[in-house]
Chain A
């Protein structure tokens, strides 16, 4: 077995020949985290990963190989072998000499671990003070990624990115009522504000202390950032290159036409200073730019990597990212950003005499992303009357269609942006704002 762990000496760089068409990525990721949950052993964690990934185009077919331990020569051999049965490809390679290496976010320093521990301790104590039977949960993490890319055109580029992620919340169980809270803060330029997060969670805990029931019916609902992200799963499904290639997207011939509300502008934004994916080029080495996907409701750009851009015979827009370290780059936005509106959360609450505020739902994802129907069991739903939040609503199912609510049901766009991390269900980080939607169907268990 030992042989698997050894690389051949002199194997630090890919040896490209004139016949080769392809690219190679050396990807290194480290994560440090401090995790504390009520009733469990605290855990301090450090993980490091190093992945080599190589793409080869041979006789019009794509070969891909990746390994955490094998050397470039072996990977190249494997990629050529894979290309024999690989998919047809239109992949080409960018000129990497036009891009410069960059660093985004702070570089890890050992002293950070003490800050993380202190931050976790402070937040944990703040959460534990909510109630004697509140079970707190805190995770403070720092993610650092180094990537080096080279290709058969002779160019190379490298970059480093780092960002903080703090997730905190907890749960209070009273009888069969679970009052759960959970919020995440991401930031690349500095550690997120622990006090602000603690304050926000305390406020939501207070909102939810009183339990209410409402009648089934149609309500104006303010969707907060995590819910907004689940709507955009459907929007991205219609915009993505693979859906266009499969002929599944109903928007395939709607470029430069209105598809959503004129209140809505959505970008793939690789320039925002606090974004986890901020950088001047994507995972394929294609230069990036701020690209409107939806501009005042009009479809401006599809989400394309080099492969799908090649098939559509358009310039690659720089939206080829790896969903996981050892995965092929695919059509994904950089940071998904909604243009903020002018109304604060308080303004949105004051827009109707009675309004619901949805922060969390169970199962709130589309049964069919391209169609956009979503129903979720509201786990974090509040009721406001005359501008004041009066309690937490139980036993309610919120049902909507992503495309309906983002077109004719959208009444206002909020101003308070929040990051939602890339996760198990969403393939890009999003900086999203609350949306006020009218006429949302709410079914309540009697």
Chain B
């Protein structure tokens, strides 16, 4: 890949020269080359395939505490874009919120991709063949499988970033993922179950999913006649996939400091040292897990990644920062400022959010549950800081410690603060799950993130549902 798009050292030098002479308190210039492929299939045929090349960039300028942001396609007229961003930053806006962002050590870095199996080296036909192979497997699994929708994408990014503090970074990034969605249908309704995959360095993540696809097909059929869950409070056991989404939705977003600054009420709750969960609960965010979709050694403000403990021994010990939020709260930047694309400014986002493994064997998580829910996988989740919701892909009733009947439409919800306190066991079955979805915030979606976690047991979790 690097050979195809050779490094031009003059790009960083030229951009640095423009940044250094700009008349702004701070200025950042980013240029990107993005090349992406997306394939969608339905059963045995391709329904769409796109190959997109985006070239463009952005400039962010700060003048007296106001940010001016300009994004553009192409690489022409960089100086004019810099002038425009400064002019916007000089717009008369006074909300009494000016702050000087934290100074960080200038970073000079050229980062190349270290691939296991390069997706760009796989011809389109090869990618299509894998998807159609999975469709064959799912359709052969059961006659009630009505359709198989498969989606694959890969996205290569080559970025150049400079600021007027001496930072100059050239980076390559890769993100790939997708989903095999199996839809079953009979006279009474439709049901679906999917298999998802993702990686930041390996096309191999797409291979070897045959058993998972077959299992998803049979589960979709099983869900056709599953009764709807009866709403109410239950003890719940969640599998590692769902536990990871729980950590992301229920706590990760609350830890993003751009949601905390300027909010005296929230900061009074989110003080460092507050007890949040059981002694064995350890949640952290890392950008240094090579191969995960949340791998991000340097963020989009040029800050090198740090591993950030958020909860350690059940106690709040950290939060996720951009340079601005760190300055406002008197803490250190953590390398969590991310932008989906050059059309967006960086905002505080998670990378790979991890619940460290505990010491409870999986079977013991069910012990003593008279009537509860076992939830596996997820169709996604959402939070507003206080409340969270996640949609279980599969759910089963637990009766007297044994998993029994499948249920449909299990939506697990709760209050973040009380639910974290209600975790009573952390499993020792740690899984590095990588899915093909992404995180959405402020219109920037889907941002590649990862969640690695073990199974969890949560007491008194509110489950939505109409069943009676």
Contact = CB atoms under 8 A, between A and B. Distances in A.
B232 A370 contact: no
Interface residues of A, number: 87
Contacts, number: 288
A215 B319 CA distance: 37
A328 B76 contact: no
A397 interface: yes
A216 to B, nearest CB: 7
B388 A377 contact: yes
A70 to B, nearest CB: 7
Interface in B255-275: 258, 261-266, 268-269
* Overall SS of chain B's interface: strand
Interface in A31-68: 34, 36-51, 62, 64-68
Interface string A359-385: 001111101101101011101000000
Contacts of B125: 85
Interface string B212-252: 00000000000000001001110000000000000000000
Given A39-B263, A176-B417, A2 B411 contact: no
A121 B93 CA distance: 8
What interface size band does chain B fall in? 35 or more
B384 A40 contact: no
Contact of B55 (A4, A124, A247): A4
Nearest to B223: A368
Contacts of A245: 42
* Overall SS of chain A's interface: mixed
A242 B379 CA distance: 20
B389 A377 contact: yes
Contacts of A180: 384-385
A64 B68 contact: no
Nearest to B465: A399
A18 interface: no
A292 B324 CA distance: 50
Interface string B181-199: 0010100011110000000
A357 B466 CA distance: 19
A326 B52 contact: yes
B408 A247 contact: no
A445 to B, nearest CB: 5
Contacts of A367: 379, 391-392, 408-409, 411
A409 to B, nearest CB: 11
B84 interface: yes
A49 B343 contact: yes
Interface stretch (A167-175, A192-200, A256-264, A269-277): A167-175
B414 interface: yes
A326 B341 CA distance: 13
A67 B183 contact: no
B321 interface: no
Contact of B65 (A41, A65, A443): A41
B465 A39 contact: no
Name, among A40, A117, A424, A445, the residue most crowded by chain B CB atoms within 10 Å (CB to CB).
A40
Contact of A44 (B66, B409, B466): B66
A88 B45 contact: yes
A39 B97 contact: yes
B92 A117 contact: yes
B140 interface: no
B75 A2 contact: yes
Given A43-B68, A113-B91, A38 B263 contact: yes
B53 A45 contact: no
A443 B231 contact: yes
A362 B383 contact: yes
Given A68-B54, A368-B190, A135 B389 contact: no
A377 B414 contact: yes
Contacts of A44: 66-69, 88-89, 91, 93
A4 B53 contact: yes
Contacts of B388: 362-363, 377
B128 interface: yes
B134 interface: no
Given A1-B33, A246-B147, A43 B69 contact: yes
Contact of B384 (A46, A362, A443): A362
B118 interface: no
A158 to B, nearest CB: 19
B379 to A, nearest CB: 5
B124 interface: yes
A290 interface: no
28 contacts: A2-B75, A34-B91, A43-B68, A68-B53, A78-B51, A82-B51, A86-B49, A87-B46, A176-B269, A176-B418, A178-B387, A216-B232, A248-B185, A248-B190, A250-B190, A328-B50, A363-B390, A371-B190, A371-B409, A375-B464, A376-B464, A377-B464, A379-B384, A397-B463, A424-B440, A441-B231, A441-B466, A443-B232
The 9 closest A-B pairs by CB, nearest first: A39-B262, A363-B389, A375-B464, A173-B265, A375-B411, A178-B386, A39-B261, A38-B262, A443-B231
